[in-house]
Amino acid sequence: MAQAGVEHITADVTDGDSLKAAVSGVIDRFGRIDALVNNAGCGIFGAAEFTDIEAAERQFDVNFFGAVRLATLVAGHMRLNGGGAIVNVASLAAMMPLPFQSFYSASKAALLCWTRAFSGEVSRFGIRVSAVCPGDVRTGFTAARSFDGKGDGEYGGAVSRALAKAEASERRGCGPDVVARAIFRQAVSRRPKLVAVPGAGWSALDAVARILPRGLVSRLVGRIYA
């Protein structure tokens, strides 16, 4: 929500009043909002059985409800101004949930499902809502992820092994520029894909996974990460 030479307007996606103030500030300064990219997110890693519910709720508050709060605020403005674009950054984990990232996967799946439903509601107003679902990407998200090792002993060290595999895969992932280009294409396209998976390799994996039985896909993912 900023451009060269203009100070940034910051907000807390878990605070509705903060978001309202930020949206109002952007409209006051620029006159309108043509595009919104919901990219705020965080991750927790650990066995679901041992994850504190408070941590899981925080995961959803940032990854899902934060995006919903901002999208619905901006949609009201766009509806009155002839349309716009809303791009929600979900994850390939929304379609292929990851062991020991169950709450992260679930929060992104909720965002993806909500995106598809919300698109059907507001498209009549010229508001284009879509989701970008990246696979592994080389960013600071890997180091910033919260890891709770509780239960690792009970699971025979599977939690820590899965974390090591996930981090290694992310470090080998595509660059953030690949995802940025996909987001930009979605935002400026008059007919964006409802769901876009950036990167040829990840897009191919998604296509194959949609053909295979869901149970087989879950078993294969489990063997890779757990």
**Model confidence pLDDT, tens digit, residues 100-127:** 999 999 999 999 999 999 999 999 999 9
For residue 49, pLDDT over 50 is answered with yes
Higher pLDDT: 223 or 85? It is 85
User: Active-site residue numbers?
Assistant: 104
Q: Are strands 127-132 and 44-45 parallel, antiparallel or unpaired?
A: unpaired
Q: What is the pLDDT of residue 5?
A: 53
Reported for 208-216, long-range contacts at CB under 8 A and 24+ positions apart, including other chains, are: 209/95, 209/96, 210/95
What sign has the CA pseudo-torsion 88, 93, 95, 100? negative
Give which of 145, 155, 162, 71 is closest to 104, Cα–Cα: 145
**Residue 151 — left, alpha, or beta (φ > 0 → left; ψ -120 to 50 → alpha)?**
left
Domains and CATH numbers, the chain: 37-225 (3.40.50.720)
User: What whole-number percentage of the chain has pLDDT above 90?
Assistant: 87
Contact 152, 48 (CB under 8 A): no
Q: What is the pLDDT of residue 6?
A: 54
